[in-house]
């Protein structure tokens, strides 16, 4: 049995009005690629942020193998958020170096690791360039290099292939598989089932903040009695998906009132009513 690197127990995350995640129990084992699959607003990003220590659970715990909360041991994690989070006035290498310095890794070590992975991602020539003119794919690859430069035990990727062209997406997926083959652990958020099936050893389906299924693709098919993962997903998420909410970012009373004051009412038309004058 592989070592449990990250353990979530009874994790609930509530924002002001919404319960984003409900009673999540999940173990992440060493050397596996875990796919977090769910629709927009399902709670994938919230779950990733809890694993990254950006959010604290309202109830429950997110602990590393050492038994310590993830906030205290962030150097064990490498995170690629959906927005990539690169500074456009810094070069790719400066972006990477900034994060590796924050992790307490020397520039020499970070550079050696970066060079190694940059070759796989075909990014060696771009490390000295400012990221301002980078394509979405190049930004994603730079963010990936940045997350790997300090040698994390767990890599958290939030929709790493979103918006990438086919070639870039293939390169990213190939690197993720290579990392797994070298013993790395990757948590991979996506809303593409086919991608999850292609890349992940284990798929966790999140829907409306609840963990609906957790297992290998074969286990999911067996568990739901379906023939394709898509059918399995549909059978597990029959209830209507809730609308996406933006965390606990609540608008003030005055702001809300003022915005509504200058928002024209949507015209109401009844069935059969002609719109012609």
Partner 1 sequence: MSDGSGRRVRAIAAKEIVEFARDWRTIMAIIVIPLLMFPLLFILFPVLLESEAAELDALEVAVIVQSDDFPENLHENLSFAGVVTLIEPLPNLTTLSDPAGDLERVRNSSVDAVLRFESNNQTWSYAILHLSTSERSNEARYRLLATLSEWEDSEVRQRISDGGLDVNETLDPLRWNGDIAQGDVATTGEQAGMVLSLFIPLVLAIWTYSSAIQPSIDMTAGERERGTLEALLCLPCTRLELLMGKWVAVATITGIGVVLQICGLLFAIGYLASSSFIGLPKLSLVSVGLIVLSILLFAVMVVAFELALAMRSHSVKEAGSILAPALMLILFPALFTQVINLDGIEGFWFAIPVVNILLALRELLMNRVITEHVLIWVMSSLLYASLAAYYASKQFSREDIVTSLS
Q: Which residue in 44, 49, 173, 212 binds partner 1 (CB under 8 A)?
A: 49
Beta carbons within 8 Å of 197's beta carbon, 6+ residues apart: 203, 217, 229
134 vs 233, beta carbon nearer partner 1: 134
Task: List the one residue out of 45, 23, 27 whose CA is nearest residue 36.
Answer: 45
Site for partner 1 in 51-90 (CB under 8 A): 52-56, 73-75, 77, 79-90
83 vs 178, beta carbon nearer partner 1: 83
Q: Which residue in 44, 99, 202, 207 binds partner 1 (CB under 8 A)?
A: 99
Query: What DSSP assignment string belongs to 177-234?
Result: HHHHHTT-EEEEEES-HHHHHHH-SEEEEEETTEEEEEE-HHHHHHHHT-SSHHHHHH
Per-residue contact flags (x/-) with partner 1 for residues 216 to 255, judged by CB under 8 A? ------------------------------xxxx------
Per-residue contact flags (x/-) with partner 1 for residues 180 to 199, judged by CB under 8 A? --------------------
Nearest distance from C-beta of residue 57 to partner 1, angstroms? 11
Task: List the one residue out of 239, 220, 240 whose CA is nearest residue 37.
Answer: 220
Taking the alpha carbons of 174, 180, 183, 188 in that order, is the dihedral positive or negative?
A: positive
Q: Which residue in 61, 69, 98, 177 binds partner 1 (CB under 8 A)?
A: 98
Beta carbons within 8 Å of 109's beta carbon, 6+ residues apart: 100, 151
Q: Give the bridge partners for 154, in sequence order.
A: 77, 185
Residue range at the interface with partner 1 (CB under 8 A); choices 61-69, 94-102, 196-204, 232-240:
94-102
Nearest distance from C-beta of residue 273 to partner 1, angstroms? 37
Size of the site for partner 1 (CB under 8 A): 36
Q: Exposed, middle or buried by CB within 10 Å (0-12, 13-18, 19+), for 126?
A: buried
144 vs 232, beta carbon nearer partner 1: 144
CA separation, residue 16 to residues 74, 242, 248, 251 (Å): 26, 16, 5, 11
Binding site for partner 1 (CB under 8 A): 49, 52-56, 73-75, 77, 79-90, 94, 98-99, 101-104, 143, 146, 156, 246-249
């Amino acid at each position: 049995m592989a070592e449990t690197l990250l353990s979530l127990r009874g994790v609930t995350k509530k924002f002001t009005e919404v319960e984003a995640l409900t009673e999540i129990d999940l173990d992440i084992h060493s050397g596996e690629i875990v796919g977090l699959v769910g629709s927009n607003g399902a709670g994938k990003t919230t779950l990733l942020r809890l694993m990254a220590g950006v959010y604290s659970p309202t109830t429950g715990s997110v602990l590393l193998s050492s038994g310590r909360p993830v906030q205290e041991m962030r150097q064990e994690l490498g995170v690629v958020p959906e927005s990539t989070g690169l500074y456009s006035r810094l070069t790719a290498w400066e972006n990477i170096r900034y994060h590796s310095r924050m992790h307490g890794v020397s520039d020499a070590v970070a550079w050696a690791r970066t060079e190694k992975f940059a070759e796989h991602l075909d990014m060696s020539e771009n490390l000295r360039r400012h990221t301002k003119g980078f394509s979405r794919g190049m930004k994603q690859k730079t963010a990936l290099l940045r997350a790997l430069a300090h040698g994390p035990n767990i890599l958290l990727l939030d929709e790493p292939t979103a918006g990438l062209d086919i070639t870039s997406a293939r390169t990213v997926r190939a690197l993720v598989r290579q990392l797994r083959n070298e013993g790395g652990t990757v948590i991979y958020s996506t809303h593409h089932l086919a991608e999850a099936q292609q890349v992940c050893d284990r798929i966790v389906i999140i829907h409306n903040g609840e963990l609906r299924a957790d297992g290998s693709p074969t286990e999911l098919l067996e568990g739901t009695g379906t023939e394709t993962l898509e059918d399995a997903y549909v059978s597990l998420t029959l209830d209507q998906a809730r609308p996406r909410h933006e965390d606990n970012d609540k608008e003030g009373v005055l702001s809300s009132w003022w915005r509504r004051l200058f928002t024209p009412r949507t015209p109401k038309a009844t069935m059969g009513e002609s719109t012609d004058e």
